[in-house]
Amino acid sequence: QVRLVMKAHSFIRENVPRVLSSVKDKPGTVHIPRISQYLYFLFAPTLIYRDSYPRNPTIRWSYVATKFAQVLGSLFYAYYIFVRLCIPQFRNSSQETFNLRGLVLCIFNSILPGVLILFLVFFAFLHCWLNAFAEMLRFADRMFYK
């Protein structure tokens, strides 16, 4: 939702001044972006709206399949982390009476799986998922990390 709000803000910030200036200068000609431009912007891995973006000539479907396979692999690895590291810890803690020592042990035993899941989310979404959609949309400007 934050990403969509940021995209909506960028779209409005880019287009409202342009529309207002064209209404003041020439009342008959108002440049309104097309729906296809807005939909492309919603799926493109960028937060800055432009009417057109640099595009690649072709789509490398093997690259797209590789990125989606990496997303799927990340999901299976996250499942493995939950099954092996999280569920046994919380299963044991739910059978005991509540005490501070058990809570602290549960939290400290959950730090490593939490960090691993955080890295998996970063890799799966911000790297694999967005690169796959960038390739399918032929989005050429892939400076995600700069």
Q: Using CA atoms, how far apart are residues 103 and 37, in angstroms rounded to an integer? A: 51
pLDDT of residue 91: 77
Do 7 and 66 belong together in one domain? no
Rounded mean pLDDT, 24-36: 76
Do 32 and 7 belong together in one domain? yes
pLDDT of residue 110: 87
For the chain, helix, strand, coil in percent to 5 are: 70, 0, 25
Per-residue pLDDT tens for 91-145?
Answer: 766 677 878 887 788 888 889 999 999 999 999 998 899 899 999 999 887 665 5
Do 69 and 13 belong together in one domain? no
What percentage of residues in the chain have a pLDDT greater than 90?
38
Residue 141: domain span: 55-145
Does the model's pTM come out above 0.85? no
What percentage of residues in the chain have a pLDDT greater than 70?
91
Do 61 and 128 belong together in one domain? yes
